[in-house]
Amino acid sequence: MKRIFLTASLAAMLTACGGGGSQTTAPTNNPFMTEYTTPFGVPPFDQIRLEHYKPAFMEGMKQETAEVNAIINNTEEPTFENTIAALDQCGKLLRRVSAVFYGQNSANTNDEMQALSRELSPLLSKHSDDINLNPKLFARVKAVYEQRDQLGLNAEQSKLLEETYKGFVRGGANLPEDKQARLRELNNEISMLQLTFGQNMLQETNSFQLVVEKKEDLAGLPESLVANAAATAKERGLDGKWVFTLHNPSVMPFLQYADNRALREQIFNGYINRGNNNNDADNKDVVLKLITARLEKAKIMGYEDYAAFALDDRMAKNSANVYKLLDEVWGPALAQAKRELNDIQAEIKKDGQSFEAEGWDWRYYFEKAKHAKYAIDENEIRPYLQLDSVRQGAFYVANRLYGITFTRLNDIPLPHPDAQAFECKDKDGTSLGVLYMDFFPRASKRGGAWCGTYRSQTYADGKRVGPVVTVVCNFTQPSAGQPALLSVDEAKTLFHEFGHALHNFFKDTHYYGVSGVPRDFVELPSQVMEHWVLEPEVLKVYAKHYQTGVVMPQSLVEKITESDKYGQGFATVEYLAASYLDMDFHVLKEIPANMDVMQFEAETLGKRGLLKQIPSRYRTTYFNHTMGGGYTAGYYSYLWAEVLEADAFDAYKETGDIFNQDVAGKFRRYILTPGGIDDAMQMYINFRGKEPGTDALLRNRGLK
């Protein structure tokens, strides 16, 4: 049975404070304890303090326990309504506080919140297991499940019953008592290790800084990056110097443009060795303990390895199907990466150098190779990709496809002062929910980009209640006197996360237990949105120079389109390397107590011929997608979903209209609205009329 508050896993998937986390009595006027009276019922972020969380968690667990006991002690025969539906509605307070706490712990954390998350982890793990392993509760669920064919349930109710029963079984309800006891220990251990991994990664990312003292060492860097580095230095008491960090908007353009090779090497090594520095934030031992605990859990549950357990309820079904897809793309991608490496070596030779390229050379010389081939420079593009304009471009695409609109909300509590809020309305004017957008990096925010919810879509008194959705990114900060200007990759990221938001807004399910989709389907709605970013018809609408307002010239649009596939060798190989690494750790059937996880990484990727110049997109000790719990044995999901979304976008192109209303209507009806009511592949077939192949994916990546 899936409990939505599962600590570190939730923080990995989603995502003010002050004071300590040790209070156990509720402060007066705890905002979690009553219904929110804010506009749209959003969390009252301006009223929430750190001391409110723990009492709300404790009361939430207490209330849910009482609600579960009421189901167990019901003297009436178990029915769908008095057992399955009643259980689905349990834990309202716990759900409310969990959504806010873990959303904020990802986007606006501090030492006190992290300490509280560690304190709460074992409590929530025990609470979840107390429900999942309750024999009397499971007996009632099982009694309803066994008569499912005679109950006359609709499709949504049938799916909820199936998922509830399966959730209990996967939670260990059928295990003997001794194995249940060990499962409890493992669940607690896994939860704490995942939490520790993420906190160590954040610490390692924030602790590194590259301090540049000589102006000549800034050669090649864009002015905006230099200005931001100077501002960072000033914030850190290093006025007159320049500080570069391991946050992507700092480290990636530094590797792309810095002429100083020694400094590129320094920041590159800082980036790829996070969690591998033999200090108090080292993650090697955490990883070993984590994969060992996961394997033991899988075996207790009757599976030969953890991947088999994790994949059992996903579209892929088993590891053989995952490896088949990865292997199908690996060969063409590696061949393309080798061709790109030849281009890089040619640029090094043009530079009058004879050294063999290393990891810290790839982005720098690739940028030169791309410019030589296509006469294009990312800094030529950025002035046309002002953040506000790109955001409006995403809104424009959604309006053209679905008729929905987004209106800025000014008088509403915000999860952080940097955030913006919008109301999403359907084409008939009905409110679909609230969207928060929070774009820039800070020390209190974990890296990457994600979409989460502060309230999931639900029903109350027979009426649909829209979600409160948050899109969180780490884009390049605006330099003094300028707006935020994005790279093409950042623009794609905005559209990607916005696609997740649309999935949340259009979802229409009556039960929490059927609101989710399999991990390897969830990226379809987000990845398909990326296709509209560089469509000329869309660029003409939003890609306007921030100073002159002039639309991006057609010549530049053509350069972007022509060069878009160049570099897919590197991008695909680094992604596949991480996908292999994730799977290889979790198909292990035995794990030596003294296993060297970094040696394992080197061997498992080396045997496939990974180029030394291309590190895995996420190396073992900072691979939070898998070690943090959100995409465990599931990082392949982006590629699996890409098979779907590449084929899905073909449905638009085949009509000659990228905004075809019939196709968009079917996509909304069959993909975005049903939640997890239908089988995932059947949902896709309902939309497309057939299963997808990999041809569109390989073509889109320029690998065919």
Residues serving a catalytic function are 497
From its phi and psi, is residue 647 left (phi > 0), alpha (psi between -120 and 50) or beta?
alpha
Distance CA 373, CA 365 (A): 12
Tokens representing 31 are 């905002």
Tokens representing 196 are 């520790």
Distance CA 655, CA 638 (A): 26
Q: Which of 699, 634, 693, 393 is nearest to 529 (CA)?
A: 393
Residues β-bridged to residue 405: 425
With contact defined as beta carbons under 8 Å apart, do 626 and 616 qualify? no
Residue 460 three-state SS? strand
> Which pairing describes strands 431-438 and 468-472: parallel, antiparallel, or unpaired?
parallel
Helix, strand and coil percent figures for the chain, each rounded to 5:
60, 5, 35
Distance CA 257, CA 269 (A): 17
In angstroms, what CA-CA distances link 368 with 6, 81, 263, 702?
46, 64, 18, 20
Task: Residue 481: count other Cβ atoms within 10 Å of its Cβ.
Answer: 6
With contact defined as beta carbons under 8 Å apart, do 499 and 425 qualify? no
Distance CA 55, CA 23 (A): 7
- Only one residue has tokens 């991480």, namely 578
Tokens representing 490 are 């950042």
Element housing 438 (H / E): strand 431-438
Q: Which of 26, 14, 35 is nearest to 53 (CA)?
A: 26
- Only one residue has tokens 């509590």, namely 413
Tokens representing 587 are 């198909």
With contact defined as beta carbons under 8 Å apart, do 125 and 191 qualify? yes
Task: Residue 528: count other Cβ atoms within 10 Å of its Cβ.
Answer: 25
Tokens representing 303 are 């599976």
Element housing 406 (H / E): strand 405-409
Tokens representing 283 are 């993650």
Distance CA 359, CA 251 (A): 13
With contact defined as beta carbons under 8 Å apart, do 581 and 634 qualify? no
- The H helix count followed by the E strand count for the chain is 28, 9
**Which residues have CB under 8 Å from 259's CB, separation 6+?**
219, 220
Tokens representing 640 are 């699996």
Distance CA 104, CA 545 (A): 34
With contact defined as beta carbons under 8 Å apart, do 117 and 195 qualify? yes
Residues β-bridged to residue 242: 212
Tokens representing 148 are 């499912």
Distance CA 304, CA 311 (A): 12
Tokens representing 174 are 């059928």
**Which residues have CB under 8 Å from 457's CB, separation 6+?**
433, 464, 465, 466, 467, 504, 505, 507, 508, 509, 515
Tokens representing 348 are 């090094």
